[in-house]
Amino acid sequence: MINRRDNSMEERILKLKQERNAVILAHNYQYGEVQDIADYVGDSLELSRIAARTDADVIVFCGVHFMAETAFILSPEKTVLLPDAGAGCPMADMITAEQLRQKKMELPGATVVTYVNSTAEVKAESDYCCTSANGVKVVTQIDNEEILFVPDQFLGKFIISRTGREMTLWPGYCPTHVNISPEDINRCKRDYPGAKIVVHPECRPEVIALADEALSTSGIIRYAGRADIRELIVGTEVEILHRLKKENPGKKFIPASEKAICPDMKLITLDKVLKSLETMTPEVKVPEEIRVKAKAAVDRMLEIV
């Protein structure tokens, strides 16, 4: 059934988007209706690459604060809008720039690799950024025995398991992904014995150990598209099922846990996207001195294909 109000809201968003020469980027965890009005839906790496090359004047970032900040770091001449200024990432807030400076003093020879789920100030103190899609590649090509990885201990442990490299880990974590337990995966396996299991590398190691693959959100989308996948247990934020179902009619997707919800991602709604385009707020900016330093770490990541 067509909802008249929502339909007209979508039309108003699309009209304003044209008038403003805006591009709408949406993360794979956004509400389905927000994904559906976006120009691009993707993982953190894909969206930052798009933000770096778009010729739009305005980027409406439907995601969380660090993602909008990364878009600004790469494209400071553009207006970057985050439709709800309160959409943060608790993991990103688990390390401050001051804490990282302290840790660097303890490990003066270490190369600092920072998950893109971090503030611009923390990126500015880092040598490399990485996302869940390229963390293994980034760490593999670092020519230093000593690596400090912040802030996600579980992505860090996953990278260690895949690269055999030693790293000092910061004890951060994603409150949404730690909600997924090995019991959840085992229950799904009992209910769907023929299903494959894919999880996000922010999950706990004991959850990753039960999975066939641990991939970034868009990695999960590509994996689900494989011809041999008919049933898939999915260990990440539940909204990813919108795109999985849309792109794979006829396949069965089972959320590993209904509790894997990111409340910050859920702050972005269609009416806030419209309001944001109407008022050209809330804008995300980064002071130039921090931006330039943070960009060096992000650029080093983007150079790694």
Q: Choose which of 74, 133, 174, 188 interacts with ligand SF4 (CB under 6 A).
A: 174
Site for ligand SF4 in 41-80 (CB under 6 A): 64
Neighbour tally for 263: CB within 10 Å: 11
CB 169 within 8 A of CB 161: no
Q: If contact means CB under 5 to 8 A according to the sort of partner, which of ligand 13P, ligand SF4, none does residue 80 touch?
A: none
Using rule CB under 6 A, residue 202 touches ligand 13P: yes
Cα of 282 vs its chain's centroid, Å: 20
Number of amino acids touching ligand SF4 (CB under 6 A): 14
Tell me, residue by residue from 139 to 178, as one string, x for binding to ligand 13P by CB under 6 A and - for no binding: -----------------------------------x----
3-class SS letters over 74-96: HCCCCEEECCCCCCCCCCHHHCC
Residues forming a β-bridge with 283: 81
d(CA 117, CA 140): 20
- Least distance from C-beta 91 to ligand 13P, angstroms? 8
Number of amino acids touching ligand 13P (CB under 6 A): 12
Q: If contact means CB under 5 to 8 A according to the sort of partner, which of ligand SF4, ligand 13P, none does residue 44 touch?
A: ligand 13P
Tell me, residue by residue from 116 to 145, as one string, x for binding to ligand 13P by CB under 6 A and - for no binding: -x-------------xxx------------
- Least distance from C-beta 194 to ligand SF4, angstroms? 28
3-class SS letters over 114-175: EECCCCHHHHHCCCEEECCCCHHHHHHCCCCCCEEEECEHHHHHHHHHHHCCCCEECCECCC
Residues forming a β-bridge with 199: 214, 235
Helix runs in the chain, H state only: 4-20, 32-37, 44-53, 65-74, 97-106, 120-124, 135-140, 153-163, 182-191, 205-208, 217-224, 240-247, 270-279, 288-303
Q: CB nearer to ligand SF4: give 69 or 110.
A: 69
Using rule CB under 6 A, residue 265 touches ligand SF4: yes
Neighbour tally for 59: CB within 10 Å: 25
Sign of CA dihedral 110, 112, 113, 114: positive
Q: Choose which of 44, 75, 118, 257 interacts with ligand 13P (CB under 6 A).
A: 44
Q: If contact means CB under 5 to 8 A according to the sort of partner, which of ligand SF4, ligand 13P, none does residue 43 touch?
A: ligand 13P
Structure tokens at 201: 């590398």
Q: CB nearer to ligand SF4: give 110 or 113.
A: 113
Q: Which one of 4-12, 124-132, 168-176, 220-228 is the stretch in contact with ligand SF4 (CB under 6 A)? A: 168-176
- Least distance from C-beta 25 to ligand SF4, angstroms? 14
Interface residues toward ligand SF4, by CB under 6 A: 64, 89-91, 117, 174-177, 202, 237, 262, 264-265
Interface residues toward ligand 13P, by CB under 6 A: 28, 43-44, 117, 131-133, 174, 200, 202, 216-217
